[in-house]
Amino acid sequence: MNAGDPPFYDYEHDPAAIYRRSFAIVRGEADLARLPESLHPAAIRMIHACGMPEIVADIGWRGDVAAIVAQALAAGAPVFADVRMVCEGIIARRLPADNSLVCTLNDPGVPDLAKRLGTTRSAAAVDLWADRLDGAVVVIGNAPTALFHLLERIHQGFPRPAAILGFPVGFVGAAESKEALLDSPLGIPCLALRGRKGGSAIAAAALNALAAGVPEETAP
């Protein structure tokens, strides 16, 4: 290479090959035996999203959440998300029924509502879901307060979603909110990542895997 020439890097260029190899590595390094087979695609995509095979030990679930999410989406259920980052990570073109992706965080009425309720905007935005929450799929990828508030509202009489994917991330309330989801007497089918880890990328990856007709080896 002559001085001034751009460097040459020997790396895989083909996206399909990258995905095949990535998922093969995940399958080789992650112990999926503790999970039902229906959750293997979700676990693999979650691991792929964060690069940490060890998170499989912290995956918690309730009910046949994989089947419930697939059925709800096939029936046209909307997907509610606490933040736009979750919506951006969902492969919308592969949702089976042109499902709506709904995030109300930036609704103009949310700041005032949050002040009246004495809570975060993420939590207050949940109140705007009531009219369409029945049978929906909820994906929480950021805010513990949104997950806590959702559970509170359902206890108070809000419609029940078909399933909740709970992946709040952080140091204050994240672990506790996911334990509240998994232990809730509401009995709503759910998928969560115990502890502090989580985030929008993992949440969207889980939804992508659970959406009908999305094999985990397929690149977006």
Which residues are tagged catalytic? 48
What is the β-pairing status of strands 59-62 and 190-193? Answer: antiparallel
**SS percent in the chain: helix, strand, coil, step 5:** 50, 10, 40
Q: Give which of 8, 21, 7 is closest to 217, Cα–Cα.
A: 21
Angle at 154 between CA 153 and CA 155, to 5 degrees: 90
- What is the DSSP-derived secondary structure letter of residue 63? S
HSE-CB at 71 with a 13 A cutoff on CA atoms is: 10
According to DSSP, the residues that pair with 61 across neighbouring strands are 191
- Determine phi and psi for 75, rounding to 5 degrees: -85, 0
Burial of 5 (0-12, 13-18, 19+ CB in 10 A): exposed
- What is the DSSP-derived secondary structure letter of residue 49? H
